Amino acid sequence: MDGLKETAGTFWRTCSEYVHPPPPIREQVPLEDAQFKAEREARVQAQIQLSYERAMARLSEMIDRNASKPAHISSLRVLGANKTRPGFLQAVLEPHLAAAQDPEATFATVLNSIQAAAEKLERFDIFHGVSVDLDTAARDPHGLAALIHVREKSRWKANSGTEMAQHDQSAYARFTLRNICGGAELLEGQFSYGTVTRNAFEVRLESPVNASPDTKVEVAGWNSSTDKKLWAGHEEVSRGGAVRLRHADPTPGSGMHELGWMGVWRTNTGMTETAPHSIRANAGDSVKSAIYHTYIRKTFDHPLLPTSGTYLRLYNEIAGASLGPLGLGLGLGGDTHFLKSEIHSRVVTPLHLPTSTTLSLSLRAGGLWGLRGITRPNDRFFLGGPSDVRGFAFNALGPRENNYSLGGDIYLASGLAIATQIPYLPTWPARLHTFLNAGSLSPIDQTKPLGAQVREVVGRGSVAVGVGVVCAVRGVARVEVNLGVPVVTRGGERAVKGVQVGLGVEML
């Protein structure tokens, strides 16, 4: 038991040494001898680094030696979580303590359990710092009393910022209330105002399910007005609510699932004078009640300029369908009925050539099937733009009339790019790339055979090539300046010859 106490004490002392290093030794040196001083500083720093490495080596050796010594947790206390519900904390920590309370448990098991418990508490995003103390238990041989110190984050937070996306730059103000009922619930309200999303207000309430930080249930409501006059000739007002269930596995390489229901009241209004009949005919209100599922998995090594990794996004939605044949009358409601499916994928691999060359291949496809024969432009796909199929104007591919886009029901977009470091500037967050983008967007005529229409979409598309420079503005977005030409186009589409600037996060 004494050995255990000594081990525990040394363990935490060494950790604290690592966190708070002893101050370096300083001597009086003549001020004019700056270089001598710098060299001496460097030597002192090297010595400190060496002593850290030795301390870590001692630590891991100590843990290895004592790992199989019997130990178990006899009590666990959490200090500093005044606003958090005790029942919630218990539900969070209990699964991790089950192994550590076993009489057969070892020191290694105890350490791992405590480590996992502390990391799980941090993932709730309601605590600033989680630190753990171990001490011997009073009347229990081989027993350890664990003490978790937490500092809670402030209850409310208000911040503002800007969001940048192609053709939609907006400013937002957000108000967040954390941990409102003591169980890591989150209430957030956001106002935004921008060039395309004219004004939007969204409120959401999120709560962990079963005291797990990886599974959350969310209820949201929004009211937004989007100005689509530039490419679609009208404005869209959207009011609705959603209930979502989200699950994200913390192990790297696994994806995020989201399953939800949304009910939206959309109004196409504010028609321009030159809008053609095909857009005017869809003016008015429509109600969509839909169930959807999203799966996203990203394994890039850099969020904006990856050199290796994959990205996959799958989206499926069913709106308004009635359940059962014979018109049993059970359905999701609303007057919009469709099946929608979409896939976005991208693979980036390093080519083993000098100057960090990478090859990026992306593929996007989507289909919309109207269950009552026709589809609405609110639900259709739009294609084209500097962050989408480069070399074409924003949303300018596919069916168009009077210079306005009507959207399509099936699309295929692909991109092939080779990116390298910029010569003589290897450390800049920018790359030089050569791209080939292709896209095709078509409506589906349900009275004609589907196979021929799909073959037409796959075989006949618009293609553009070009070169450009991609920069990553840290944490915000990717900025591209491209010089491109269209190689193949379809009648009515607007291509851009020459310089095109793109801004976005997810790009083809």
Partner 1 sequence: MPAEVQQPQWQIWSVPKPMAQLFDKFPLVEHPAALLPATPNTPKHADQPTLYIYSTAIDSSAHSPSFDAECLKWQTALLLAGLPFNAVSSNRHASPTFTLPFLNEPLSGPLVYSSGILKWIQENPSANLAAYLDEKTQADATAFTSLIESKIHNAWIYTCFLEPKNYQAVALPWYTKATAWPVNLWIGRQIREEKRAEIEAKRTVNGEEIYADAAAAFAAIAAALGDDEWFFASREPTLLDATLFTYTHLILSSPLVQDGIRQIVRTHGNLVQHAKRVYDRCYRK
Binding-site ranges for partner 1 (CB under 8 A): 265, 267-274, 277-278, 280-287, 333-335, 373-375, 377, 380, 393, 398-401, 403, 406-409, 441-443, 445, 460, 462, 485-499, 501
Instruction: Give, for 362, the enclosing helix (H) or strand (E).
Output: strand 358-370
Cβ closest to partner 1, residue 22 vs residue 329: 329
Cβ closest to partner 1, residue 95 vs residue 263: 263
Question: How far out from the chain centre does Cα 331 lie?
Answer: 32
Instruction: Give, for 66, the enclosing helix (H) or strand (E).
Output: helix 34-66
Cβ-Cβ contacts under 8 Å for 107 (sequence gap 6 or more): 4, 7, 63, 66, 67, 68, 69, 70, 71
Least distance (Å) from partner 1 to the CB of residue 164?
Answer: 18
Cβ closest to partner 1, residue 272 vs residue 345: 272
Cα angle 478, 480, 483 (rounded to 5 degrees) comes to 165
Cβ closest to partner 1, residue 125 vs residue 445: 445
Least distance (Å) from partner 1 to the CB of residue 485?
Answer: 4
Candidates 62, 56, 71; CA nearest to 134 is 71
- Count of beta carbons in the 10 Å neighbourhood of residue 376: 17
- Count of beta carbons in the 10 Å neighbourhood of residue 437: 28
Cβ closest to partner 1, residue 32 vs residue 273: 273
Paired tokens of 184: 């890591």
Candidates 409, 381, 385; CA nearest to 496 is 385
Least distance (Å) from partner 1 to the CB of residue 324?
Answer: 20
Strands (E), 45-126: 72-79
Least distance (Å) from partner 1 to the CB of residue 466?
Answer: 11
Q: What is the CA radius of gyration of the chain?
A: 29
Least distance (Å) from partner 1 to the CB of residue 192?
Answer: 24
Cβ closest to partner 1, residue 272 vs residue 341: 272
Task: State how far the Cα of 381 lies from the Cα of 389, in Å rounded to an integer.
Answer: 13
Task: State how far the Cα of 446 lies from the Cα of 338, in Å rounded to an integer.
Answer: 13
Least distance (Å) from partner 1 to the CB of residue 284?
Answer: 4
Cβ closest to partner 1, residue 95 vs residue 334: 334
Least distance (Å) from partner 1 to the CB of residue 363?
Answer: 20
| CA 220 to each of CA 44, 246, 288, 369: distance values in angstroms, whole numbers, following the listed order | 56, 13, 16, 27
